[in-house]
Amino acid sequence: MTGRAQLMWDDAVTGYNFGPSHPMDPVRLSLTRELVRAYGLDSKVDVISARSAGDSTLRLVHHSDYIDAVRRCSADPRSADGSYGIGTVDDPAFAGMHEASALIAGQSVGAAEAVWRGGTSHAVNFAGGLHHAMPGSASGFCVYNDASLAIARLLELGAERVAYVDVDVHHGDGVQAAFWDDPRVLTISLHEHPRTLFPQTGWPEETGEGAGEGCAVNLPLPAGTGDEGWLRAFHSVVPELLADFRPQALVTQHGADTHFEDPLAHLAVSLDAQRAVQASCHDLAHDYVDQGRWVALGGGGYSVVDVVPRSWTHLVSIAAHAPIDPASAVPEEWRNEVFARTRESAPRRMTDGRTPNWRSWDEGYDPADRLDQAILATRKASFPLRGLLA
Cα–Cα dist 216/219, whole Å: 10
Active site residue 122: no
Contact 216, 206 (CB under 8 A): yes
CA–CA dist 24, 151 (Å, integer): 24
Give the amino acid at 331: P
State the catalytic residue, choosing from 122, 132, 171, 259. Answer: 132
Sign of CA dihedral 52, 292, 250, 355: negative
Q: If we measure between CA atoms, which residue out of 356, 382, 364, 90 comes closest to residue 220?
A: 382
Neighbouring residues of 278: CB distance < 8 A, sequence distance ≥ 6: 254, 296, 311, 314, 315, 318
What would the DSSP string read from start to end of 176-188? HHHTTT-TTEEEE
**CA 323 to chain centroid:** 19
Position 81, amino acid = D
Neighbours of 26 (CB within 10 A): 17
Distance of CA 321 to the CA centre of its chain: 20
Catalytic machinery residues: 132
